Chains A and B, each alone.
Chain A
Amino acid sequence: GIQVEQSPPDLILQEGANSTLRCNFSDSVNNLQWFHQNPWGQLINLFYIPSGTKQNGRLSATTVATERYSLLYISSSQTTDSGVYFCAVFPTSGTYKYIFGTGTRLKVLA
């Protein structure tokens, strides 16, 4: 089945720093989503981005489907950005289900 790898696995930043999180997938996908799981366990939708670039405030994402990767950019990080960031892909082939990556655990220090 499709493999979804995220890097880095862990990231510690000072408040105000920028970061780039990466999601690589091993097969073609129809959809891709980025989620933020906050310290209370809630999964929050960040982007639905099967291809192209989107921006929402300090966050932006780019998916290059032909090269099988997606990037999540966080600028001017805040302590509330702490948590785990997951990408989830919906493979083109196979059954209807999302496959989640292993996540990037981000800690932003004040």
Chain B
Amino acid sequence: DSGVTQTPKHLITATGQRVTLRCSPRSGDLSVYWYQQSLDQGLQFLIQYYNGEERAKGNILERFSAQQFPDLHSELNLSSLELGDSALYFCASSGGGVNYNEQFFGPGTRLTVL
């Protein structure tokens, strides 16, 4: 158990809908990262937050947004969903351990868009 929690584990929805994925980092970690893993794209970095502020952005679509709250949990919002958004979405956290940038991953949310 990495200490990072993600909910829900599975999500099935229809095209055009909007969903919210939730992540709670390890105790003491200030940074939260979101990744998307799809069959044809591998693991892609989406966005990073550090102590509530956006720190780095990757290949995140405009239909997607994220935020980190004062209690450090983070949410990833996906809207106007398309079939191609079906993927495994991971959250990772870092910052509270001996190795500052070492990332620990949650179990992921498997999103299926029908």
Contacts and interface: CB of A to CB of B under 8 A. Distances in A.
Our verdict on whether A and B bind, yes or no, reads yes
A98 B58 CA distance: 10
A31 interface: yes
A103 B110 CA distance: 20
Report the contact-size class of chain B (Cβ under 8 Å from the partner): 20 to 34
Contacts, number: 51
A103 B42 CA distance: 8
> Per DSSP, are chain A's interface residues mostly helix, strand or loop, or mixed?
strand
B107 A42 contact: yes
Interface string A79-109: 0000000101010000111111011000000
B48 A96 contact: yes
Given A90-B101, A97-B48, A98-B33, A43 B90 contact: yes
Given A41-B88, A45-B2, A90-B101, A102 B42 contact: yes
23 contacts: A30-B101, A33-B103, A41-B107, A41-B110, A42-B107, A42-B108, A43-B90, A43-B105, A43-B108, A44-B2, A45-B103, A48-B102, A88-B43, A88-B103, A90-B101, A95-B56, A96-B55, A96-B56, A97-B33, A97-B56, A98-B45, A100-B42, A100-B45
